[in-house]
Structure 1
Amino acid sequence: MRRVVHAVGVPLLLAIAACAGAPPNPNPRANDSLVAVSIDLPRYMGRWYVIGNIPYLGDQDYVGTYVQWALRSDGKIMDAFVGRRYGFDQPVTGSFFIDTIVPSTRNGEWRVCFSWLACVTRLTLYVDESYQYTIVGLPDKSLGWIMARDTQVSDEMYAALLLRLAALGFDVSRFRRVPQQLDQIGKPAFQSPGKPE
């Protein structure tokens, strides 16, 4: 993998700042507070493929995206976000962060810092018993991610995970699937990567 850091930090911060201008959330539970679930941290580490998300400026042109989490000796988490911008024929690029677990949250709430100036709180909202599927989101529900250990998730499973997000108060109409294979590009409900500038 080429260890090229793309400029996702600034676009992400701009996208987060722009969340105030996001369309109103029509979900009747939109104002319900989110609570992080308890997670077994060693089991939660490793690679998670991004199956679906609310696209934001920093990752909307990416395919094959995944996160790689590794527990450090100091209790913090190495966080790598990688993918291929504009298509599967493009090089792998990534952004790398150090996450901090918020105390007394049963490992479910992390602080992700993009620089010494800005951090966001990320909540683990669901993980299945076998640690094959997880849902992660921001407390204000402006951004959310569906992730899995495998690149392929059935339509039925994806729909079930969307139902969980709806029950939590997310606007699921904003979620788009992330292509993890070439034949998924252009399919309905999948994000379409842009073209290189």
Structure 2
Amino acid sequence: MQIENSERLRYEPVTEEDAQLLFDLNQDPEVMRYINGGKPSTMAEIEDYFIPRIKGFSNSDTGWGLWKVNTLASESDLGDTFIGWILVRPMDFYTDEPKHSDLEVGWRFTQASWGKGYATEAAKAVCKALVVHASVIEKPITHFSAIADPANKGSINIMTKLGMEYIKNTSVDTPEGEVEVVLYSMAV
């Protein structure tokens, strides 16, 4: 699956060759604030945990995976620059009952790109491409969902801009243990 460029951004699947980009993104304590309390990742964590985890849910036929987001060269302030990623995988992927028609969408972006609408633009472009692609491969998508730390107002704002509505507070298992999150969702 491919995703066409949006107004200011281009997209391609993240591969293990992108380990340095993922590492660099995770070095900013503010970027990691609502992920793990602001702790930067080590390269070993990227290579031994994050990359294998991405490979575990990536599927080029369905569009699941991590989508690298770069600004287009015409963006004068950043040029052609990696600014973050969009995650796509079935909700509850790491359970015995993943929801293949309810896709989880997530994001992580550089602090330099915050407040410019890039994450919303990227998430909209990825979701739109997934819906079109799903109709072609006859694998229907009924919902897009997202989770965030309840204090992460930036991510919650993106969820509402995408048209998602609050569903509930819940918890998820993470490498650091179980954490409370808010769940937002929208029907396709």
Q: TM-score, normalised by structure 1?
A: 0.37
Which protein has greater RCO, CA pairs closer than 8 Å, 6+ apart? 1
Q: TM-score, normalised by structure 2?
A: 0.38
More helix by share: 2
